[in-house]
Amino acid sequence: MSILLTGGTGKTSIRIARLLQNTNMRFILTSRQGIVPEPFTGVKFDWYDPATFENPFAIESNIESVYLVPPLGSPDVIKALKPFIDLAVEKGVKRFVLLSISTLDAGSPYMGKVHEYLISLGVDYFVIRPSWFFENFITLHLESIRDRHTIVTASGDGKIGFISADDIADLAFDALTRAESYNTDKIIVGPELLSYDDVAKTLSDVLGININHTRIGADELKRMYLGFGLDERLDMLVDLEKSNASGAEEMIFAHPKRFLGKGPSSPSWRQTRMLGKRSGTRNCIYATNCWIL
């Protein structure tokens, strides 16, 4: 058996790859250029280029499980993923593990449509619905923190259970390799509920300088993301920050049953939400290794 990890250079897939390597399991990573970190095997794969969909099966004929990392923010995610999912099923893939978002139930826009489609196929599946990645502070927010000592968001006072990519990778590894599929979705949040003000304070304490949180509106956020070259992801990211400001993530942290998908669930796993092991403070300390302030 072999496992295919799409999004092979992303935050979670590369961590899953290391876990699979440690257990000597066969796997392939994908990237749009076909280049992945050594010593892993990589293949060229692009969600927007169906001509690349056959590539993984050309080098590995016995792929049984696929980790799906959709193109973030695509206005029609299901249109991009459905042709590949259909091909994978034809090629003998038995299980799909989808990386979605905490606030997206089956049938919701974006990844929610893919979630719904997997249920309709009757295949083994698992949908991971994480809160916001703590690693965003060393990617998306890195420049503003390092150069201007501020975190810029449209999330207002909204609180979030920031989750570590390591916790997501642990869960995905389990879902991909266990004998019996979960056939459900799972919300995963970090162990602490934090506002961006809280994160700024922790970073200030850890780094020994004053880091603040700059609140902006949705229109200004759009302009900022366009400046980052994130036009493809623009609408979804803005929508998510607006939902943060309205308290959606805080509600999920406190009352996850209200947001749990309605697909068939495994009777052996009845918890509606799981907490990650890595705390926000731990991640702030880790992140200091990435900054020169």
Residue 65: which pLDDT band, with cuts at 50, 70 and 90? Answer: very high
- In the prediction, which pLDDT does 157 show? 95
Which has the higher per-residue pLDDT, 169 or 289?
A: 169
At residue 263 the predicted structure's pLDDT band, cuts being 50, 70 and 90, is: very low
Structure tokens belonging to residue 159: 């609180």
If pLDDT is split at 50, 70 and 90, which confidence band does 285 have?
low
What's the chain's average pLDDT? 86
Query: What percent of the chain lies above the pLDDT cut of 90?
Result: 58
Q: How confident is the model at residue 290 (pLDDT cuts 50, 70, 90)?
A: low
**pLDDT of the residue at 191:** 84
- Please name the helix (run of DSSP H) or strand (run of DSSP E) that holds residue 289, with its range, or none: none
What are 192-237's pLDDT values in tens digits?
Answer: 889 999 999 988 988 889 999 999 998 888 888 777 776 655 677 8
Confidence of residue 140 (pLDDT cuts 50, 70, 90): confident
Res. 129 pLDDT band, cuts 50 70 90: very high
Band (190; pLDDT cuts 50, 70, 90): confident
pLDDT-derived band at 262 (thresholds 50, 70, 90) equals: very low
- Please state, in angstroms and rounded to a whole number, the distance separating the CA atoms of residues 147 and 167: 29
Chain segment 148-179, per-residue pLDDT in tens: 999 999 999 999 999 989 999 999 999 999 99
pLDDT, tens digit, 9 for 90 and up, residues 22-62: 999 999 999 999 989 888 989 999 999 999 999 999 999 89
8 A C-beta contact, residue 290 and residue 211: no
